[in-house]
Amino acid sequence: MTDSSTDSSMTMSPVLSARNVSLGFDDTTILAGVDLTLHPQEFVAVVGASGVGKSTLLRALAGLLAPQSGRVEIPAAITRDSRAWSMVFQAPRLFPWRRVQGNVELGLEGLSLSKAERRRRALEPLALVGLDEFAERWPHTLSGGQQQRVGIARALAVQPRVLFMDEPFSALDAITRRRLQQELVELRRRTEAAIVFITHDIEEAVLLADRVIVLGNSEVNQPARVVETLDVRMPLDERRDHPEFASLVQRIETIIGNH
């Protein structure tokens, strides 16, 4: 773990538990034997070659895809005013006919909140991502990076126990991507949510996560599995320049290349 807040989270009850999960379609199994326990404020990144089943695993963990076998458990939301989980997609998926605040409020509309409370709950995460002054703007007036930050704010507004992120920065230019990576480092300190982060960028995984889960095929024509889980034991604020950063990235690249 990287800091005391994450260490203390390990004494709390898990917010997600997956046991011997196998996934696939019809009679084809594409991912098998997955075990994962996630605690509050933990950040887990999932990497692997294209087509290995990263996004499929994410959908199963979120309850959007039923496992072929095994079970996934996410305890219910703590209150009626929150949700057990939320998701940030590769694209922001903002509604063009809603202003920024209206897009963030979308997930709150099914909760037992007053109009004033929805506004407050929308503006708080917008402030976290630095867009509270853009609340009345239309989505088309924002840059791609700003739109993705609105998507993150929308996911945080429901106060999820688990935040799923499916390659959220993959469509952004390199400068914007690096800026949002740094913002996510700061953001994870200010939310209780655990995060499951899918990425094809190994440096991004090592930069952000407490643990990196590597998916791969141990044998040709066999379902993919978790081939290794690696702890990232570097301070969050010093990783990019840390002497162990490049070697851990290279180690993960080698593992993926061998599977």
Residue 5: the pLDDT is 47
Residue 192: the pLDDT is 84
The arrangement of strands across the sheet holding 225-231 comes to 85-88, 162-166, 194-198, 43-48, 211-216, 225-231
Residue 183: the pLDDT is 87
Walk along the chain (259 residues) in steps of 10 and give the mean pLDDT of each run.
49 85 88 92 94 91 90 74 84 93 90 89 91 95 93 90 91 87 86 92 95 87 90 92 94 92
Residue 162: the pLDDT is 92
Residue 4: the pLDDT is 44
